[in-house]
């Protein structure tokens, strides 16, 4: 049945939805790459909340989605940017999310790594580095006590408080010495969070990279890997070639992930990606093809997904979570399109229409008829008659 989808200029275009999903199969564990999907949270649509109040989470649906990712062999990167850290998910709820998901991972034999930040601390003119360290330490303790691997996330409070590179070296050095197991360091660019402009002590990315590498070089035994989210493939390749032996690069580049994961004759990136939330089953199938040494087959599966990813992550990039949750709703992973913090309003109807079109074209929806019905309902809600 034809859907009439809105264009940005107010006109409508006819679209014929698919009738069958893409066929994907589960298989053995990955052998050539370590792959995490940064997972979204499912809001409780019946909670009486406000955008600036505590988050209300539908725990059953949230944990079910993590089981879905684990069932395809993907690791889960929990309480990360995709889970709306600093954009609707408060620290007390994030801590509960970490504990619940880590317990679920043990039951499901799934891999999990969790974000450690400082979002319980609001930086002011009087905030000290000691307070930033204390906030990090509190969150690191929660993650380690849960049994999950820690991901040291970039900190808005540190970005606002640090006076130069030495402050970054001091804070990260302190945390790495404390960590009981090797962590993943996360460099999130300002396109994902404008408050992180100038992270590592400089807006000059070459200088910032040098500081980042200095942190790693001082504690290589405490760094499992780095997660780079700068949307700059060339810079990521240059950075991963400068890493100490044994330190992995996890791409967080949602624009260029197929080429970065495929790699070249000097190395490759593993993956920790928000786009692998909606792409989970397809991404897992592609990695299993890559495990056989078939790089062309891997690219043939994953390259066509880039248009969808670039659409979801278009500027302002920090609102990509809205598209991710929208596709989870269309895919039947949740019964509603509601987000913590009311973030379902962060993208336009033409944006949703194009996301639906691209995802449907890839065959991502397990039940295309359900996705079509839900898209039709959304269009009707916005006043688009079919």
DSSP character string of 263-295: -BTTB--EEEESTTTTTHHHHHHHHHHHHTT-H
Looking at residue 364, what is its pLDDT?
98
Looking at residue 88, what is its pLDDT?
96
Higher pLDDT, 52 or 126: 126
| DSSP conformational letter for 195 | G
Paired with 77 in beta bridges are 38, 113
Looking at residue 108, what is its pLDDT?
96
CA 225 to chain CA mean position, Å: 16
- Measure the CA–CA gap between 384 and 386, rounded to whole angstroms: 7
pLDDT band at 52 (very low <50, low <70, confident <90, very high): confident
Paired with 4 in beta bridges are 14
pLDDT band at 386 (very low <50, low <70, confident <90, very high): confident
pTM above 0.95, yes or no: yes
User: Does residue 340 register a pLDDT over 90?
Assistant: yes
User: Does residue 79 register a pLDDT over 90?
Assistant: yes
Residues composing the chain? 386
Looking at residue 109, what is its pLDDT?
96
Looking at residue 251, what is its pLDDT?
98
Helix and strand numbers, DSSP H then E, in the chain: 14, 10
User: Does residue 27 register a pLDDT over 90?
Assistant: no
User: Does residue 385 register a pLDDT over 90?
Assistant: no
* pLDDT tens-place string over residues 302-325: 999 999 999 999 999 999 999 999
What count of other Cβ atoms lies within 10 Å of the Cβ of residue 243? 18
Give the mean pLDDT of 329-351: 98
* pLDDT tens-place string over residues 238-283: 999 999 999 999 999 999 999 999 999 999 999 999 999 999 999 9
134-169: b or e for each residue (b if 16 or more CB lie within 10 Å)? Answer: ebbeebbebbbebebbbbbbbbbbbbbbbeebeebb
User: Does residue 25 register a pLDDT over 90?
Assistant: no
- Measure the CA–CA gap between 34 and 25, rounded to whole angstroms: 19
Looking at residue 187, what is its pLDDT?
96
Residues 6+ apart with CB under 8 A from 53: none
User: Rounded mean pLDDT of the chain?
Assistant: 97
Residues 6+ apart with CB under 8 A from 308: 275, 278, 279, 355, 358, 359, 362
Looking at residue 232, what is its pLDDT?
97
Looking at residue 72, what is its pLDDT?
97
pLDDT band at 29 (very low <50, low <70, confident <90, very high): very high
Looking at residue 26, what is its pLDDT?
87
pLDDT band at 298 (very low <50, low <70, confident <90, very high): very high
Look-up of token digits 């319980």:
120
Give the mean pLDDT of 163-176: 97
User: Does residue 51 register a pLDDT over 90?
Assistant: no
Contact between residue 73 and residue 110 where contact means Cβ atoms under 8 Å apart? no
Give the mean pLDDT of 60-74: 98
């Amino acid at each position: 049945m034809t859907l009439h989808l809105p264009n940005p200029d107010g006109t409508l275009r006819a679209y014929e939805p698919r009738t069958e999903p893409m066929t994907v199969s589960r298989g053995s564990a990955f052998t050539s790459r370590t792959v995490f999907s940064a997972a979204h949270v499912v809001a409780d649509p019946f909670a009486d909340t406000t955008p600036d109040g505590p988050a209300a989470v539908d725990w059953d649906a949230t944990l079910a989605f993590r089981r879905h990712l684990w069932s395809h062999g993907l690791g889960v990167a929990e309480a990360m940017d995709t889970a709306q850290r600093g954009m609707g998910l408060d620290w007390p709820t994030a801590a509960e999310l970490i504990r619940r998901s880590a317990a679920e991972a043990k039951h499901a034999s799934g891999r999990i790594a969790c974000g450690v930040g400082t979002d319980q601390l609001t930086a002011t003119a009087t905030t000290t580095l000691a307070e930033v360290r204390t906030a990090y330490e509190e969150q690191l303790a929660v993650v380690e006590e849960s049994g999950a691997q820690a991901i040291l996330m970039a900190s808005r409070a540190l970005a606002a408080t640090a006076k130069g590179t030495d402050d970054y070296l001091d804070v990260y050095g302190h945390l790495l010495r404390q960590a009981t197991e090797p962590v993943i360091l996360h460099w999130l660019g300002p396109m994902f969070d404008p408050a992180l402009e100038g992270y590592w002590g400089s807006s000059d990315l070459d200088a910032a990279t040098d500081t980042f590498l200095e942190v790693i070089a001082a504690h290589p035994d405490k760094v499992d890997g780095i997660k780079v989210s700068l949307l700059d493939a060339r810079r990521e390749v240059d950075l991963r070639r400068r890493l100490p032996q044994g330190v992995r690069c996890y791409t967080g580049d949602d624009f260029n992930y197929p080429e970065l994961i495929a790699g070249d004759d000097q190395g490759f990136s593993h993956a920790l990606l928000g786009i692998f939330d909606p792409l989970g089953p397809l991404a897992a199938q592609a990695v299993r093809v890559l495990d056989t040494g078939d790089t062309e087959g891997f690219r043939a599966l994953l390259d066509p997904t880039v248009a969808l990813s670039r659409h979801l992550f278009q500027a302002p990039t920090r609102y990509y979570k809205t598209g991710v949750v929208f596709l989870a709703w269309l895919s039947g992973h949740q019964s509603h399109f509601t987000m913590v913090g009311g973030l379902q309003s962060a993208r336009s109807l033409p944006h949703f229409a194009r996301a639906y079109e691209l995802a449907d074209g890839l065959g991502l929806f397990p039940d295309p008829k359900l996705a079509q019905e839900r898209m039709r309902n959304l269009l009707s809600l916005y006043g688009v008659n079919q």
